[in-house]
């Protein structure tokens, strides 16, 4: 299976030893060589000392999902040796630091060993203790460059870019690369049977993480108030927003800021500030992960019932509770959809790629203000924190914001009998006013308690039901405004359907091809939003059997589909991955084909 | 409630400089218990805003949950109001304020709302120097759920139900001073003469202005044995000074002898004039004020008046160097860096 531009390499490092930038250099080199590549961080919730892995899949066919089966393991962490040796597939390679000999218990007869004395090479050539450790990483990149036929010019160019402004560091880095390269040339046959070859498959693409892309989406989408509370894996999103805002949102004359980033005392306060700011007419958002979403439920309910726009980006991680903070999952679907006590429903958007993180985050502000309700962008750790090959981020100059039904002073002047929750247009969305707009008109008392059309407190049964039903009407309208699903595969001869969303995308695309190779033809729908549109309903009505692929234990999206569209549960079959690692095409194909075979057996 | 307030507007009602009458600052009819201290505070807010010539629509009034938090419905009908969730008003107010620093923010809370469920938010709003007038209507009990002790109930006080409070009280004023609030005052809902100028001064102050107003709960905490009853507060009230608030344009007249008067100029040019000062009392000396609060507590005295003021307080929007244009007025032109910049950003990831 492995061959030219088709292999998986895994790096086993110790957290906090500077391996991340060397590993990124390796992946970026392949990208610059025009080869599709997908790197994944598999890291601990730790700053220094624990094992961390970086996995890079190289794939000419452009499959960017994770793949099982490690062709080459680069092991610079004695702590995880045993596991790392065991994880190499038959016939694979194991590159390790041979400064100290490898214990015989780690020798397997079915794999090849590539001993490179990383530490002693560094000890001989560098004096500074920190440099000795850091350059160990560059030595193995140099070794890999020869073993895998990487373009040295590209590597040197990237090193130059990385150390722009710190030119002194370029030469020692190149030296370290050469130490590894020379060692390989002297001691091993090269390149390996599987290796890289230049292509032109990444031209015009970018390699970016979803959190940075979402942050830019918020910047372009007009976010000005950004309260937040640090939590993995969402932290880098607000960091990126701050970095770009400091660059592009500061008045050049006064040095004063057109944005306010506030580190809140907790996620409750972060959401409260978002709601306060959007109530007052500014665009605001916060980013969080599962535990933060749990805390924000109270405020999301208020925003839903009092009809205040709010934007939240949930970079999902493995739950429940603290769960696995550095592992990925799609396990907040139900909590987000029905956040808060009482009858509530929230608008959700599901990006699959960084360019969608950008676009859907910008769109979330329009939707939130148009619908006067919270909109939650459902990213995840895999999308948010890993670099992905993506289409460039796109913004059309002249694009305007949809601020929704907000009355100006002039409009208020002409309006008679305005009521904050009057459904004037019969579409479920009332007109709102921003504080300070008009001296006599448009003031009202926002409340999370039951209210009538004029925002007055009421416990009147009919009024309460009227308001709650209008909120449903508004949610039906939302289903017509949210992004439509995307469809893939053969819609004519398909025997069954597949539904998935978010970061399952790449694995699902690969699985579709693998299934059709064994004559299992499927038509797939990638959900991009909740509530579900007519197109989603039509798709679910088309097939007797639909596999719902998701990355959680309880098949939450399947539950949401069954609940909202009243589909018979038998027709929706679970395909689940919830071990915290990104889903693979192999898993999808295995589960779908074994289900098809077992049901064929039962029938015959 | 079925009360209807007559819409009749007497032509001879006195007007302030902006031409507004007191009626323009009123709210809906209160649904609190008759005699509730909170209603007196609402009335004082109406009077203070009238006298300060505030445009009602330039005020945003925000609250949490509880009897106190209902009151924003009972004053300033022409202001936007926000009755948020329990204990979370400070965060909503922070967001609102960041969106538009041109409005005056009036936060109303209670002892349950601020000293228990909302303690975290209360503390951090002070720490950030939120530009707000923050009034706690403090009755030492949970009125809306029928009189349970609150965290400001004094140790040993006897509740109406007959039990003694076995926990220490949280002193919100002492806490606010510790946390760096720039304006801290304590008053009594039954002392309109003291309360109105304090509210006016708080609303003119730039930074976190905290007002802890003891406000007896006539239904659940006005019994003998209570330390938050009308009688108890009147008996134990130690007024630290008399106080006048002198707006920007008003001429300062010398009504008092120089040696007993202390004048503090606020950033907007208005003055707080303290007179009949207690001996040695200096509201600008933080250490002395904290000391005095501890002593008062030991001797069961309730200090009222302007307790502490720091005129060098920098409000949040200045700390974070926010632009003068309210963020909610910025349009695409100021907010979108443009497609060209995005191309450059894309190139940095190629």
| C-alpha torsion sign, points A190, A195, A201, A205 | negative
Residue A46's Cβ-count burial label (10 Å; 0-12, 13-18, 19+) is middle
- Provide, as residue numbers in chain B, all residues whose Cβ is less than 8 Å from the Cβ of A29: none
| Pairwise CA distance, residues A293 & B170, whole Å | 31
Question: A296 and A253, same structural domain?
Answer: yes
Task: Determine, yes or no, domain membership for A168.
Answer: yes
CA A170 vs CA A162, A466, B348: distances in Å: 9, 69, 19
- Whether the pLDDT of residue B279 is over 90: the answer is no
Q: Does residue B88 belong to the interface with chain A, where contact is any CB pair within 8 Å?
A: yes
| Pairwise CA distance, residues B165 & B149, whole Å | 7
Task: Determine, yes or no, domain membership for A44.
Answer: yes
CA A160 vs CA A171, A474, A604: distances in Å: 9, 54, 65
Domain end among A390, A419, A443: A390
Task: Determine, yes or no, domain membership for A201.
Answer: no
Q: Measure the CA angle with vertex A215, ends A246 and A327; round to 5°.
A: 125
- Whether the pLDDT of residue A1 is over 70: the answer is no
Q: Which two tokens stand for residue A365?
A: 């502000």
> Under an 8 A CB cutoff, do A445 and B85 touch?
no
The answer to whether B110 and B144 are in contact (CB under 8 A) is no
Q: Residue A435's closest CA among B237, B238, B326, B208?
A: B326
- pLDDT for the residue B2: 41
Contacts of A463 (CB under 8 A, 6+ apart): A450, A452, A453
- pLDDT for the residue B252: 61
Question: A111 and A27, same structural domain?
Answer: yes
| Pairwise CA distance, residues A6 & A3, whole Å | 5
Contacts of B348 (CB under 8 A, 6+ apart): none
If one compares B262 and A287, the residue with the highest pLDDT of the two is: A287
Task: Determine, yes or no, domain membership for A397.
Answer: no
Q: Residue A494's closest CA among A428, A436, A459, A542?
A: A542
Question: A84 and A183, same structural domain?
Answer: yes
Q: pLDDT band for position B11 (50/70/90)?
A: confident
Question: A467 and A514, same structural domain?
Answer: no
What is the CATH number for A70?
3.40.920.10
What is the CATH number for A256?
3.40.50.970
Question: A372 and A470, same structural domain?
Answer: no
> Under an 8 A CB cutoff, do B330 and A258 touch?
yes
In order, the DSSP letters of A372-386 are TSEEEEEEEHHHHHS
Backbone angles phi, psi at A560, to 5 degrees: -65, -40
> Under an 8 A CB cutoff, do A206 and B73 touch?
no
Q: What is the mean pLDDT of residues A156-174?
A: 94
Token look-up 């990126």 returns A240
Q: Which helix (H) or strand (E) holds A546?
A: strand A546-550
Percent of chain A's residues with pLDDT above 90: 94
Task: Determine, yes or no, domain membership for A21.
Answer: yes
For A117-163, the pLDDT digits (tens) are 999 999 999 999 988 989 999 999 999 999 999 999 999 999 999 99
> Under an 8 A CB cutoff, do A265 and B327 touch?
no
Backbone angles phi, psi at B245, to 5 degrees: -115, 125
The answer to whether A140 and A173 are in contact (CB under 8 A) is no
Q: Residue A228's closest CA among A315, A158, A153, A302?
A: A315
Q: What is the mean pLDDT of residues A174-185?
A: 97
Q: Measure the CA angle with vertex A564, ends A563 and A566; round to 5°.
A: 65
Chain B (98-117) residues lying within 8 Å, Cβ to Cβ, of chain A: 98-100, 102-103
Strand-pair category, A529-530 with A347-349: antiparallel
> Under an 8 A CB cutoff, do A264 and B93 touch?
no
Q: pLDDT band for position B280 (50/70/90)?
A: confident
Q: What is the mean pLDDT of residues A357-362?
A: 98
CA B261 vs CA B2, B186, B241, B255: distances in Å: 48, 20, 9, 9
Closest residue in A to B117 (Cα–Cα): A268
* Domain span including residue A53: 6-187
CA distance A546 to chain B (A): 38
Closest residue in A to B71 (Cα–Cα): A445
Closest residue in A to B86 (Cα–Cα): A298
CA A584 vs CA A20, A180, A331, A510, A517: distances in Å: 23, 32, 17, 9, 17
Q: Does residue B21 belong to the interface with chain A, where contact is any CB pair within 8 Å?
A: no
- pLDDT for the residue B161: 85
What is the CATH number for A563?
3.40.50.920
Chain B (122-151) residues lying within 8 Å, Cβ to Cβ, of chain A: 123-124, 128
Q: Does residue B78 belong to the interface with chain A, where contact is any CB pair within 8 Å?
A: yes
CA distance A172 to chain B (A): 24
3-state DSSP assignment of residue A387: strand
The answer to whether A499 and A524 are in contact (CB under 8 A) is yes
Average pLDDT, chain A: 96
Question: A346 and A253, same structural domain?
Answer: yes
Q: Residue A373's closest CA among A330, A331, A328, A405?
A: A405
The answer to whether A372 and A422 are in contact (CB under 8 A) is no
- Whether the pLDDT of residue B253 is over 80: the answer is no
| Pairwise CA distance, residues A365 & A217, whole Å | 10
| Pairwise CA distance, residues B243 & A16, whole Å | 60
CB pairs under 8 A between A and B: 220
Q: Does residue A165 belong to the interface with chain B, where contact is any CB pair within 8 Å?
A: no
Measured between CB atoms, which of B328, B341, B345 is closest to A281?
B328
- Provide, as residue numbers in chain B, all residues whose Cβ is less than 8 Å from the Cβ of A206: 346, 349-350
Percent of chain B's residues with pLDDT above 90: 86
The answer to whether B124 and A269 are in contact (CB under 8 A) is yes
> Under an 8 A CB cutoff, do A225 and B95 touch?
yes
In order, the DSSP letters of A38-81 are EEEEE--S-SSSSEEEEEEEEETT---SB-S-EEEEEE--GGGH
Q: Measure the CA angle with vertex B88, ends B83 and B89; round to 5°.
A: 50
Chain A (361-400) residues lying within 8 Å, Cβ to Cβ, of chain B: 392-397, 399-400
Question: A213 and A181, same structural domain?
Answer: no
Question: A163 and A90, same structural domain?
Answer: yes
- Whether the pLDDT of residue A604 is over 50: the answer is no
Task: Determine, yes or no, domain membership for A316.
Answer: yes
The answer to whether A309 and A246 are in contact (CB under 8 A) is no
Domain end among A390, A422, A454: A390
Task: Determine, yes or no, domain membership for A396.
Answer: no
In order, the DSSP letters of B6-63 are -----TT--B-TTS-BGGGGB-SPP-SPTT-HHHHHHHHHHHHHHHTT--GGGEEEEE
| Pairwise CA distance, residues B136 & B152, whole Å | 11
Question: A349 and A230, same structural domain?
Answer: yes
For A499-552, the pLDDT digits (tens) are 999 999 999 999 999 999 999 999 999 999 999 999 999 999 999 999 999 999
Task: Determine, yes or no, domain membership for A526.
Answer: yes
Closest residue in B to A358 (Cα–Cα): B342
Measured between CB atoms, which of A272, A396, A435 is closest to B103?
A435
Measured between CB atoms, which of B78, B83, B339 is closest to A443?
B78
| Pairwise CA distance, residues A486 & A498, whole Å | 12
How would you label A479-508 residue by residue, b for 16+ Cβ within 10 Å and e otherwise?
A: bebbbebeebbeeeebebbbbbbbbbbbbb
CA distance A244 to chain B (A): 10
Contacts of A109 (CB under 8 A, 6+ apart): none
Establish how many alpha carbons lie within 13 A of residue B175's alpha carbon, considering only the half-sphere containing its beta carbon: 17
Closest residue in B to A250 (Cα–Cα): B323
For A315-332, the pLDDT digits (tens) are 999 999 999 999 999 999
Establish how many alpha carbons lie within 13 A of residue A83's alpha carbon, considering only the half-sphere containing its beta carbon: 12
- pLDDT for the residue A441: 96
| Pairwise CA distance, residues B280 & B65, whole Å | 39
Q: Residue A525's closest CA among A551, A553, A554, A505?
A: A505
Establish how many alpha carbons lie within 13 A of residue A411's alpha carbon, considering only the half-sphere containing its beta carbon: 11
Q: Centre a 10 Å sphere on the Cβ of residue A195 and count the other Cβ atoms it contains.
A: 21
Q: What is the mean pLDDT of residues A467-492?
A: 96
Beta bridge partners of B63: B83, B108
Backbone angles phi, psi at A518, to 5 degrees: -110, 30
| Pairwise CA distance, residues A59 & A489, whole Å | 20
Question: A362 and A245, same structural domain?
Answer: yes
> Under an 8 A CB cutoff, do A277 and B341 touch?
no
Q: What is the mean pLDDT of residues B52-77?
A: 97
| Pairwise CA distance, residues A287 & A503, whole Å | 18
Q: pLDDT band for position A265 (50/70/90)?
A: very high
Question: A149 and A28, same structural domain?
Answer: yes
Q: What is the number of structural domains in chain A? A: 4
The answer to whether B150 and B112 are in contact (CB under 8 A) is yes
- pLDDT for the residue B1: 40
Model pTM above 0.90: yes
For A26-71, the pLDDT digits (tens) are 999 999 999 999 999 998 888 888 999 999 999 999 999 999 999 9
Question: A307 and A227, same structural domain?
Answer: yes
Q: Does residue A227 belong to the interface with chain B, where contact is any CB pair within 8 Å?
A: yes
- pLDDT for the residue A2: 67
3-state DSSP assignment of residue A427: coil
Domain end among A132, A156, A187: A187
Could you say which DSSP state residue A584 is in? B
> Under an 8 A CB cutoff, do B342 and A445 touch?
no
Q: Does residue B271 belong to the interface with chain A, where contact is any CB pair within 8 Å?
A: no
Domains of chain B, earliest start first: 22-325 (3.40.50.970)
| Pairwise CA distance, residues B95 & B121, whole Å | 12
The answer to whether B62 and B96 are in contact (CB under 8 A) is yes
Report whether the peptide linkage leading into residue A531 is cis, meaning its omega lies within 30 degrees of zero.
yes
Closest residue in A to B331 (Cα–Cα): A222
Q: Does residue A262 belong to the interface with chain B, where contact is any CB pair within 8 Å?
A: yes
Helices (H), B225-285: 230-236
């Amino acid at each position: 299976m492995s061959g030219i531009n088709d292999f998986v390499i895994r790096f086993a490092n110790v957290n906090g030893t500077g391996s991340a930038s060397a590993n990124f250099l390796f992946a970026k080199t392949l990208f610059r060589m025009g080869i599709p590549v997908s790197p994944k961080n598999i890291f601990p919730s730790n700053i220094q000392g624990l094992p961390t892995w970086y996995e890079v899949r190289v794939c000419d066919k452009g499959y960017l999902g994770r793949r099982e089966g490690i062709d080459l393991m680069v092991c610079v962490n004695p702590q995880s040796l045993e596991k790392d040796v065991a994880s190499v597939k038959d016939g694979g390679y194991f590159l390790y630091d041979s400064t100290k000999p490898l214990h015989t218990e780690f020798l397997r007869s079915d794999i090849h060993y590539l001993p490179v004395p990383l530490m002693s090479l560094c000890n001989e050539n560098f004096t500074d203790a920190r440099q000795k450790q850091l350059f160990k990483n560059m030595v193995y990149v140099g070794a890999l460059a020869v073993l895998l036929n990487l373009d040295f010019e590209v590597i040197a160019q990237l090193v130059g870019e990385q150390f722009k402004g710190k030119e002194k560091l370029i030469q020692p880095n190149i030296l370290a690369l050469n130490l590894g390269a020379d060692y390989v040339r002297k001691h091993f046959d090269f390149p390996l049977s599987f290796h890289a070859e230049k292509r032109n498959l990444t031209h015009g693409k970018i390699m970016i993480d979803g959190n940075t892309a979402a942050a830019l989406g918020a910047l372009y989408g007009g976010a000005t108030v950004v309260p937040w509370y640090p939590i993995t894996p969402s932290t880098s999103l607000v960091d990126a927003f701050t970095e770009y805002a400091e660059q592009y949102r500061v008045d050049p004359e006064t040095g004063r800021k057109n944005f306010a980033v506030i580190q809140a005392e907790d996620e409750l306060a972060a959401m409260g500030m978002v709601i306060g700011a959007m109530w007052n007419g500014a665009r605001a958002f916060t980013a969080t992960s599962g535990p933060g979403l749990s805390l924000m439920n109270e405020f999301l309910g208020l925003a839903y019932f009092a009809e205040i726009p709010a934007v939240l980006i949930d970079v999902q991680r493995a739950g429940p509770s603290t769960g696995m903070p550095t592992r990925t999952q799609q396990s907040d679907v139900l909590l987000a959809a029905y956040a808060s006590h009482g009858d509530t429903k929230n608008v959700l958007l599901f990006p699959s790629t960084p360019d969608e993180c950008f676009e859907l985050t910008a769109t979330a502000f329009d939707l939130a203000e148009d619908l006067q309700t919270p909109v939650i962008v459902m990213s995840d750790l895999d999308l948010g924190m890993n670099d992905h090959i993506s289409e460039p981020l796109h913004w059309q100059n002249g694009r305007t914001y949809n601020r929704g039904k907000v009355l100006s002073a002039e409009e208020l002047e002409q309006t008679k009998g305005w009521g904050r929750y009057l459904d004037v247009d019969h579409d479920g969305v009332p007109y709102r006013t921003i504080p300070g707009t008009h001296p006599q008109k448009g003031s009202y008392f926002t409340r999370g308690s039951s209210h009538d059309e004029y925002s007055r407190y009421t416990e009147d049964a009919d009024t309460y039901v009227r308001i709650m039903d209008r909120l449903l009407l508004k949610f039906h309208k939302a289903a017509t405004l949210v992004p439509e699903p995307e469809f893939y595969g053969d819609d004519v001869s398909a025997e069954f359907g597949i539904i998935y969303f978010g970061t399952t995308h790449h694995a699902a695309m690969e699985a579709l091809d693998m299934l059709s190779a064994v004559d299992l033809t499927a038509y797939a729908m990638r959900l991009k939003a909740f509530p579900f549109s007519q197109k989603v309903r039509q798709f679910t009505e088309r097939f007797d059997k639909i596999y719902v692929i998701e990355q959680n234990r309880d098949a939450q999206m399947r539950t949401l589909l069954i609940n909202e569209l009243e589909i018979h549960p038998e027709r929706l079959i679970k395909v689940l991955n919830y071990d915290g690692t990104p889903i693979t095409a192999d898993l999808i194909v295995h589960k779908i084909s074994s289900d098809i075979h077992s049901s064929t057996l039962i029938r015959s | 409630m079925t009360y209807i307030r007559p819409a009749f507007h007497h032509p001879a009602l006195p007007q302030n400089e902006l031409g507004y009458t007191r009626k323009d600052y009123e709210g809906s009819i209160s649904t609190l218990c008759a005699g509730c201290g909170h209603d007196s505070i609402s009335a004082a807010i109406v009077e203070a805003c009238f006298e300060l010539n505030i445009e009602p629509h330039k005020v945003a009034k925000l609250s949490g949950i509880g009897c106190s938090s209902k009151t924003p419905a009972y004053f300033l009908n022409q202001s936007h109001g926000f009755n948020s969730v329990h204990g979370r008003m400070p965060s909503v107010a922070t967001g609102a304020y960041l969106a538009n620093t041109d409005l005056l923010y009036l936060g109303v809370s209670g002892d349950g709302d601020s000293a228990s469920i909302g303690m975290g938010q209360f503390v951090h709003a002070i720490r950030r120097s939120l530009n707000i007038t923050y009034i706690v209507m403090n009755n030492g009990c949970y009125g809306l759920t029928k009189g349970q002790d609150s965290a400001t109930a004094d140790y040993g006080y006897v509740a109406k139900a007959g039990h003694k409070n076995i926990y220490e009280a949280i002193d919100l004023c002492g806490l606010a001073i510790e946390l760096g609030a720039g304006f801290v005052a304590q008053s009594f809902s039954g002392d309109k003469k003291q309360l109105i100028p304090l509210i006016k001064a708080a609303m003119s102050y730039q930074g976190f202005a905290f007002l802890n107003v003891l406000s007896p709960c006539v239904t659940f905490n006005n019994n003998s044995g209570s330390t938050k009853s009308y009688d108890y507060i009147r008996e134990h009230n130690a007024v630290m000074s008399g106080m006048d608030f002198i707006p920007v344009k008003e001429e300062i007249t010398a009504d008092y002898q120089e040696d007993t008067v202390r004048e503090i100029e606020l950033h907007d040019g208005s003055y707080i004039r303290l007179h009949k000062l207690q001996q040695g009392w200096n509201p600008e000396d933080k250490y002395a004020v904290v000391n005095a609060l501890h002593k008062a507590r030991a001797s069961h005295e309730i200090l009222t008046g302007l307790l502490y003021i720091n005129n060098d307080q920098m409000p949040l929007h200045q700390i974070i160097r926010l632009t003068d244009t309210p963020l909610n007025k910025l349009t695409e032109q100021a907010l979108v860096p443009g497609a060209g910049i995005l191309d450059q950003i894309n190139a940095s990831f190629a």
